[in-house]
Amino acid sequence: MNKLIQGLLFSGTIYDEVAFSRKVKLFFPKAEVIPWMNQTDFFATVMIDGTLNIVLRGTDGTDFKKWTSAWINNFHLSVGSNGIHDGFEESVKRIWVILKSIVMANDYDHLNIFGHSRGGAETPLLGNIIANATNRYVDCYSYGAPPSGNLMWLKTFELTRYKGLINNIYVVNPRDVITVLFRDHLTPKTDGYDVGTRFLLPEDTWQQKLFKCIPGACEHSPREYCDGLKMVFKKNKEAVSQLKAIRKVLVN
């Protein structure tokens, strides 16, 4: 399965805490899935054929207490001396405490990190920590994410990428408002920057635009990203078939 598609499957289905493992195994029956949770985050490790995949969930809207705690972190707009959004960095540090022993075990061949929304903003942050801690290459895929830091953070990420230790594919729906948050709105210190390679999804067809008037349609949802990737892979029958199947198991 193409990594862009695989990443959408993981980062889109992780919103369903109860059924995440089952949904992953519909596509990867032999996957070893371990879910983790702390006070504000739900995330998972998925081992498939020697590849360790880490999946970070975006802001959960189903549990009011967790939702409010997570959004407090989201809108903690100050940045540290390293140029990283304080709220996202706090979450990543808590996640790293739990995953450090697994990541440092070196019993995997490759490591991918995937995330949507807030999870996507945290994906390159965690990837940068892991790449420098292990001196091993990390592939990151962010979907519909706000930027995770300012120009100083971008320079830090680029230094790690220059060493050949990391890359981040930043997948963007051109109509997704979340991807433009934290940009050019306060001061140069807090203005956000993308890290990695920006992958812009195509504009909607006129038929899709026709149905955007339906209440509840959300340009930020994993389903919208699934539809965008179907347009990207429209000439690949196998990929389109996979994306259609994935869309059925996405909850938002």
Q: What is the mean pLDDT of residues 27-43?
A: 93
142 closest CA partner among 166, 112, 168, 180: 168
Residue 214 has pLDDT above 80, yes or no: no
| Res 216: pLDDT | 43
| Res 203: pLDDT | 79
Whole-model pTM: value is: 0.89
| Res 145: pLDDT | 94
> How many CA atoms within 13 Å lie on the side-chain side of 108?
22
CA 85 → CA 3, 37, 79, 146, distances in Å? 27, 21, 5, 10
What percentage of the chain carries pLDDT values higher than 70?
82
Which domains does the chain possess?
3-249 (3.40.50.1820)
- Point out the least confidently predicted range of 107-116, 154-163, 209-218, 232-241: 209-218
Query: What are the residues whose beta carbons fall under 8 Å from the beta carbon of 62, sequence distance 6 or more?
Result: none
Residue 72 has pLDDT above 60, yes or no: no
Contacts of the segment 31-38: beta carbons below 8 A, 24+ positions apart: 36/95, 36/98, 36/99, 38/94, 38/95, 38/98
| Res 86: pLDDT | 87
Q: Pick the residue with more confidence: 234 or 210?
A: 234
pLDDT in tens, 86-119: 889 999 999 999 999 999 988 899 999 999 999 9
Biggest CA-to-CA distance, the chain: 51
The amino acid occupying position 74 is N
| Res 175: pLDDT | 85
